[in-house]
Chains A and B, each alone.
Chain A
Amino acid sequence: MLAYIFRRLLQSLLVLFVMSLLVFLGVYAIGNPVDILINPQADQAEIERVKAALGLDQPVWVQYWTFLANALAGDLGKSFAANVPAIQLILQRMPATVELALTATVIAIVLGLPLGLWAGLKPDSVAAKTIMAGSILGFSLPTFWVGLMLIMVFSVQLGWLPSTGRGQTVEVLGLHLSILTWDGIRHILMPAFNLALFKLALLIRLTRAGAREAMLQDYVRFARAKGLTEERVVRVHVLKNILIPIVTVVGLEFGSVIAFAIITETIFAWPGMGKLLIDSINVLDRPVIVAYLLIIVFIFVVINLVVDVLYSVLDPRVRLAGARA
């Protein structure tokens, strides 16, 4: 078990190393680092000073080493636009994104599990067919357009929900949260639902497939033969067995929810790090782009690692296969 975790950890470090190399090559080798890392409004003396400070007069491998050392020390350059360290800017915006992503995930689970279960248990009913058609639509609809339509209907036509911002926030343990105030909930509802839509469609399909498969198993027949109520068969025997793959997918998909939040945040002007990325790209604030990239790579690697390790804890087969290899 420990050996497995250790090997997985090494792999993750390797991925981080490769990604840092790719980012470095993208920024330093392909692009001109002077353009990318130095404010274009700086004068010649300033450019020379920063060049020397960043070690751009050094050979490439020395430059990579400096970049890596700086990145490890949490120094990814200063934002041109805000003139504060880029990493600090992103960390400030991160709670808003994580709050939105978590709310979206909860919505997807709360709606997706029962709907998928219904579609799986009564596959020939009209309701099941409607649910499945809806999930196909959820896959096909471009997220950003759904967001616009939500604004059109609920903000412009009906005037029920606000279209931009986070609303009133409450400070809990130093974090500002929207979900705890009524105004905040009104603000988070549309963006979170928009972000949840794709995952909702995915969860419905997963749950449905799992339920249909589980209903044919011997343990379900046995539970029925024991005379258990249908409700108990579904809730205890079916649900428990289909939960493992669902938990895995929800976990693995969390990273992509954070990435897709870029779109949702831009539409609803949600002040998270995804909107920050788009704003930074628009004003060519490159240190922030580089910092965002490294942070999101880090998040992905950590999520993959945690899910893999949890999986090996839950399912002994994975652990044993890993030990043999």
Chain B
Amino acid sequence: MSATLTGTSPAREFAANFAQSKIAVAGFAVLCLILIVAVGAPLISPQNPYDLAQLDIMDSKLAPGESSVSGATYVLGTDDQGRDMFSAILYGLRISLGVGVMSTVAALAIGLAIGLISAYAGGWLDALIMRLVDLQLSFPSILIALVLLAVLGQGVDKIIVALITVQWAYYARTVRGNALVEKRKEYVDAAVCLAYSTPRVLFRHILPNCLPPLIVVATVQVAHAIALEATLSFLGLGMPITSPSLGLLISNGFTHLLSGKYWISFFPGIALLVTIVSINLVGDQLRDVLNPRLK
């Protein structure tokens, strides 16, 4: 999307098509902002919310905008430990986005490999893999993730494993469908005639041609992964207390919600919502732009 290029390069055309929807551009801008504050959280946030030396229990449960005894103002209030909610949300965004992106990329890689192999091998292996995919997709992802975490226990690595497990099947099915179409095309015959090895044909020739639609799907899936992680953390089965994602912050505020201290749950929820909505807006527009049927 470099604007310095002249003429109608594919990148320029793509950017122009994308910019046709103002709301998608707004979503993209918000998403960029979220990424910047998430990555730069240690530089931006007024306090390190997990450095106990910086917390003052006297400041606990202050309402948004209130000042502490020491003079610091908490824009979004503080939680029960006197932690600045604004800082906690920035750090929480980091964790939520990190887990969402990491698990989606890993699931995409695994799903791609399995889907390609399934399409290329055919026969009983293909049938077996696809039945497994069908079986898994017939159950809601929240249920599979819950059960896995109940067996595996808590931890960042375990929640990533759970998120990968619920996502791979979807990619495997999609890439298999695309690969079956590509497999019959002439360039694949040409590659086979050149006596290239099967892995080379699969990963160098077929894979690049199946990839663009999957990247779009993956964009939207990051939003799903973030929402799922937040839900699991809220239920107390996701992130450990040492890496508080947005879901865990919301869960932490739930106990104070009934006594009217809404801000501990409310603002992390807004951050989560804005993240998910902006990813969905960008993803929807990407799908429309890249979909050849709509051109």
Closest residue of chain A to B134 (Cβ to Cβ) is A15
Q: Which of the residues A15, A30, A136, A256 comes within 8 Å of B280, measured between beta carbons? A: A136
Is B236 within 8 A of A278, CB to CB? yes
Q: Which residues of B contact A293 (CB under 8 A)?
A: 147
Cα separation A139 to B277 with both chains bound (whole Å): 9
Closest residue of chain A to B143 (Cβ to Cβ) is A259
Cα separation A136 to B235 with both chains bound (whole Å): 24
Is A142 within 8 A of B272, CB to CB? yes
A52 to B: closest C-beta gap in Å: 25
Is A18 within 8 A of B257, CB to CB? no
Tell me whether A31 is interfacial, beta carbon within 8 Å. yes
Q: How large is the interface on A (under 10, 10 to 19, 20 to 34, 35 or more residues)?
A: 35 or more
Cα separation A297 to B135 with both chains bound (whole Å): 11
Cα separation A70 to B269 with both chains bound (whole Å): 45
Is B142 within 8 A of A259, CB to CB? yes
Is B138 within 8 A of A304, CB to CB? yes
Tell me whether A111 is interfacial, beta carbon within 8 Å. no
Is B254 within 8 A of A148, CB to CB? yes
1/0 per residue B147-171: CB within 8 Å of A?
1011100000000000000000000
Cα separation A256 to B139 with both chains bound (whole Å): 7
1/0 per residue A132-150: CB within 8 Å of B?
0000110111111100110
Closest residue of chain B to A146 (Cβ to Cβ) is B269
Q: Which residues of A contact B146 (CB under 8 A)?
A: 262, 277, 281
Given A148-B250, A148-B269, does the pair A139, B143 have CB atoms closer than 8 Å? no
Cα separation A242 to B168 with both chains bound (whole Å): 33
Is B150 within 8 A of A263, CB to CB? no
Tell me whether A168 is interfacial, beta carbon within 8 Å. no
Q: Which residues of B contact A200 (CB under 8 A)?
A: none
Q: Which residues of A contact B143 (CB under 8 A)?
A: 259, 262, 296
Given A156-B257, A259-B140, does the pair A144, B280 have CB atoms closer than 8 Å? no
Residue from the set A19, A259, A260 with the largest chain B CB neighbour count within 10 Å: A259
Q: Which of B215-238 contact A (CB under 8 A)?
A: 223, 227, 230-231, 234-237
1/0 per residue A148-186: CB within 8 Å of B?
110110011000000100000000000000000000000
Is A156 within 8 A of B280, CB to CB? no
Q: Contacting chain A: which of B45-53, B97-105, B260-268?
A: B260-268
With A151-B257, A255-B140, A256-B140 already in contact, 14 other A-B pairs whose C-beta atoms are closer than 8 Å: A136-B277, A137-B277, A141-B276, A142-B227, A145-B250, A149-B269, A152-B265, A155-B258, A156-B258, A259-B142, A263-B235, A278-B237, A289-B147, A300-B138
What is B's interface to A at a CB cutoff of 8 Å? 135, 138-140, 142-143, 146-147, 149-151, 223, 227, 230-231, 234-237, 250, 254, 257-258, 260, 262, 265-266, 269, 272-273, 276-277, 280
